[in-house]
């Protein structure tokens, strides 16, 4: 820390620079973008940003500070909103100290009028180029402080970043991209579901009109928080634009007593001038370097077999053991017993909360099944949904007061379940004791942790809103389980992708992307997911030939080809599968294993395609090997498709090219399929000329393997 506050502070990473202007009372991001040359000084940037007085406005435009302030003349959305019983609400802070150590900038400001201390912390990761930023507020007064809002640091948006790419969706169709033109006014998304949500992912990308996957400038912003949140991109009549992301508080939820503090969730940001794939690459590097727990960082991600769409609630030891044998035969390495294994659980009407093995199905407990799974050289995993309770359960009959509620309103049941109040110590202790007992009794290596409903009535026994505390309590419970059983991996599932964010990844190891295993829907779901998350945390399963959600029938080749580009699994009834389908599935699992290290560690390169197509590549870190996937989603407007141009390759290298999936690709007449295998092509030719695609049926795909010839 220094006694003299400098005018500017600069953070640098491999490819980016961030400059913060501290000349005024509030810190402001002056520049965030491509790494600046040594000859470029902050004074130059400040001079270039000189603006003039606007008509009918203040003589000097209010700054878009890290926490914009109404008392400073800012007419937009303030970064902090608070009061003391309706008074002392006008925040106006002045910088008191600044420290810069190891690319971590900490700025402490104070407001005399509201008696608060504000700390902004910005860290620019040197290797990943990702910015991690938080805002912390401390009540320095002698009375209670009501905090209505405290966003993560605000990011000014350049005017030429004229496009907003956000992410919406629903159950069974998450991570759908939504592109709109930036406009004068506020683009706002809010989520009050008590989880990350299916329909309002806490992330946004703003970019230029010309930006595509391989070129152009963009900012990507994501709030690492698994609860209520808001995303705001606003443009004033002045032309100024900014983005604010933060936790969304319920009424009266955040009360700070004297000396107490609140810190915002982390805002993760990336900036690029090389297109959207490069933006995703920064986030992927950050997850791999900073959020992937060291205990599994170098572990092979095993191929799953999950029992849900194979048997649903129709469980028997004999049938499950037969499934385990078939799962081993097709190449599965982990057997996950899904819902239905615990007391009174014959359907989704009863049993949640009673986390003891159902002796009517498993008279000797789970040991016989687990032993059989281990004899077939697979790990054993188990489905749980600890946060929920069925009214028809021993737990609820004993403790009806343990659920969240908004009395005197009647309890709202969804999927026949209510939400346990994790903020209560006795609930935390009960859930930990039951899970701890299971993990101590049985050699369980994996928990699929589900949450199958939103929190519609987030009130505790005293009538207080506890959305924030419920999320923090979930984190606490997960951390407690991980500490007691560090060898156990945990998947974040919430009716599919309803809880997918960087906050939950601090405590879990995999995300179930969607309950829909429809391969065509999965193409779009996984593309949206890939904007922020790498393949190794993306659960991707081969479903049945008829998807139970969409009713669509798809070939095994397509189902396998889509699933192999994530953390692969199988979720289908192997006992009823025909010989040919089984052979195709086995071949696909083997292909995934062959290239697993590439798929789960390489650089993702999405290709710009027409809406009836989708294509991407995974390129190894050294550029020596790549897999490219192309899928034709619908019928084309022309008789034959165009050329597939491979991005991300070394133009000066030669590559051996083969089609590796399907095992026997076919087309209407002689085509590229008959001549491409074993050919040698330059990276330059593959990138700029591309491969002529064959005539293909809708919902069919090709996977190319490229290997650099030394």
Domains 8-291 and 304-597 alike in fold: no
Fold designation for 304-597: TIM Barrel (3.20.20)
Contact 241, 214 (CB under 8 A): no
pLDDT bracket for residue 29 (50, 70, 90): very high
Is the CATH number of domain 604-709 2.60.40.1180?
yes
Q: What are the residues facing 222 on neighbouring strands?
A: 203, 268
Q: Which residues contact 594 (CB under 8 A, 6 or more apart)?
A: none
Say what the pLDDT of residue 1 is.
41
Question: E strands within 523-653?
Answer: 538-542, 567-570, 603-606, 613-619, 625-632, 643-644
Q: What is the pLDDT of residues 517-555, one digit of tens each?
A: 999 999 999 999 999 999 999 999 999 999 999 999 999
Say what the pLDDT of residue 640 is.
85
pLDDT bracket for residue 2 (50, 70, 90): very low
Question: Which two tokens mark 365?
Answer: 């407990």
Q: What is the pLDDT of residues 439-497, one digit of tens each?
A: 999 999 999 999 999 999 999 999 999 999 999 999 999 999 999 999 999 999 999 99
Rounded Cα–Cα distance for residues 53 and 332 (Å): 67
Q: Which residues contact 380 (CB under 8 A, 6 or more apart)?
A: 334, 335, 336, 337, 369, 370, 373, 374, 442, 443, 444, 445, 446
SS3 for 120? strand
Count Cβ atoms within 10 A of the Cβ of residue 236 and give its class: 0-12 exposed, 13-18 middle, 19 or more buried.
Answer: middle
Question: Which two tokens mark 456?
Answer: 């519609």
pLDDT bracket for residue 3 (50, 70, 90): low
Q: Which residues contact 673 (CB under 8 A, 6 or more apart)?
A: 659, 665, 666, 667, 694
Contact 213, 269 (CB under 8 A): no
SS3 for 166? strand
Contact 489, 521 (CB under 8 A): no
Q: What is the pLDDT of residues 48-73, one digit of tens each?
A: 998 877 777 777 788 899 999 999 98
Rounded Cα–Cα distance for residues 192 and 411 (Å): 17
Nearest to 285 by CA among 548, 80, 15, 71: 15
Q: Over 90: is that where the pLDDT of 297 sits?
A: no
Q: Over 60: is that where the pLDDT of 74 sits?
A: yes
Count Cβ atoms within 10 A of the Cβ of residue 237 and give its class: 0-12 exposed, 13-18 middle, 19 or more buried.
Answer: exposed
Q: Which residue in the list 21, 151, 338, 450 is annotated as catalytic?
A: 450
Give the residue extent of every domain in the chain. 8-291, 304-597, 604-709
For residue 450, indicate whether it is catalytic. yes
pLDDT bracket for residue 275 (50, 70, 90): very high
Question: What's domain 8-291's superfamily in CATH?
Answer: alpha-galactosidase from lactobacil brevis (2.70.98.60)
Q: Which residue in the list 125, 509, 515, 521 is annotated as catalytic?
A: 515
């Amino acid at each position: 820390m220094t006694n003299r506050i400098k005018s500017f502070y600069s953070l640098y990473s491999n490819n980016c620079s961030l400059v913060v202007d501290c000349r005024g009372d509030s810190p402001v991001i002056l520049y965030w973008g491509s790494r600046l040359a040594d000859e470029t000084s902050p004074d130059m940037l400040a001079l270039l940003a000189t603006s003039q007085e606007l008509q009918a406005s203040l003589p000097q435009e209010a700054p878009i500070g890290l926490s914009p302030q109404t008392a400073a003349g800012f007419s937009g959305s303030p970064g902090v909103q608070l009061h003391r019983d309706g008074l002392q609400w006008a925040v106006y802070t002045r910088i008191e100290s600044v420290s810069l150590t190891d690319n971590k900038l900490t700025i402490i400001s104070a407001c005399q009028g509201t008696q608060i201390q504000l700390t902004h912390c910005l860290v620019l990761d040197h290797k990943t180029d990702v910015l991690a930023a938080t805002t912390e507020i401390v009540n320095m007064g002698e009375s209670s402080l009501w905090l209505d809002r405290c966003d993560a640091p605000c990011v000014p948006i350049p005017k030429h970043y004229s496009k907003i790419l956000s992410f919406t969706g629903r159950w069974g169709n998450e991570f759908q991209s939504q592109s709109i033109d930036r406009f004068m006014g506020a683009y706002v998304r809010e989520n009050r579901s008590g989880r990350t949500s299916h329909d309002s992912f806490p992330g946004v990308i703003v970019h230029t009109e010309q930006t595509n996957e391989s070129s152009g400038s963009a900012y990507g912003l994501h709030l690492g928080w698994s609860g209520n949140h808001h995303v705001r991109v606003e443009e004033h009549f002045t032309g100024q634009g900014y983005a604010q992301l933060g936790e969304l508080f319920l009424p009266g939820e955040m009360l700070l007593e004297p000396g107490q503090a609140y810190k915002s969730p982390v805002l993760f940001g990336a900036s690029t001038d090389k297109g959207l794939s490069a933006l995703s690459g920064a986030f992927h590097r950050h997850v791999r370097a900073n959020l992937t727990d060291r205990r599994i960082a170098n572990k092979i991600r095993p191929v799953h077999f999950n029992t849900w769409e194979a048997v649903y609630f129709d469980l028997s030891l004999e049938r499950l053991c037969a499934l385990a044998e078939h799962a081993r035969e097709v190449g599965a390495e982990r057997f996950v017993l899904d819902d239905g294994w615990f007391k009174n659980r014959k359907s989704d009407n009863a049993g949640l909360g009673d986390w003891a093995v159902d002796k009517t199905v498993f008279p000797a407990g789970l040991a016989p099944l687990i032993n059989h799974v281990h004899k077939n050289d697979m790990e054993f995993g188990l489905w749980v949904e600890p946060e929920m309770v069925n009214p028809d359960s021993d737990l609820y009959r004993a403790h009806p007061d343990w659920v969240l509620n908004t009395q005197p309103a009647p309890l709202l049941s969804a999927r026949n379940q209510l939400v346990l109040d994790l903020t209560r110590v006795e609930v935390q202790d009960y859930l930990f004791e039951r899970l701890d007992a299971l993990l101590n009794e049985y050699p369980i290596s994996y928990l699929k942790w589900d949450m199958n409903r939103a929190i519609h009535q987030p009130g505790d026994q005293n009538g207080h809103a506890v959305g924030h505390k419920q999320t923090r309590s979930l984190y606490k419970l997960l951390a407690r389980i991980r500490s007691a059983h560090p060898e156990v991996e945990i998947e974040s599932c919430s009716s599919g992708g309803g809880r997918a964010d960087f906050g939950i990844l601090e405590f879990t190891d995999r995300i179930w992307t969607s309950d829909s295993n429809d391969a065509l829907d999965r193409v779009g779901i996984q593309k949206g997911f890939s904007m922020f998350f790498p393949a190794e945390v993306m659960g991707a399963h081969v479903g049945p030939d008829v998807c139970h959600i969409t009713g669509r029938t798809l070939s095994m080749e397509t189902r396998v080809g889509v699933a192999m580009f994530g953390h692969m699994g199988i979720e289908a009834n192997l006992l009823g599968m025909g010989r040919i389908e089984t052979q195709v599935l086995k071949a696909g699992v083997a292909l995934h294993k062959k290239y697993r290290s590439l798929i789960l560690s390489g650089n993702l390169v999405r290709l710009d395609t027409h809406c009836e197509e989708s294509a991407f590549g995974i390129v190894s870190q050294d550029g020596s090997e790549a897999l490219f996937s192309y899928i034709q989603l619908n019928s084309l407007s022309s008789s034959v498709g165009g050329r597939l141009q491979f991005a991300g390759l070394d133009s000066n290298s030669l590559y051996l090219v083969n089609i590796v999936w399907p095992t026997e690709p076919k087309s209407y007449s002689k085509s590229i399929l008959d001549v491409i295998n074993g050919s040698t092509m330059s990276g330059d030719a593959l990138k700029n000329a591309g491969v002529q695609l064959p005539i293909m049926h809708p919902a069919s795909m090709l996977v190319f393997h490229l290997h650099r010839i030394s």
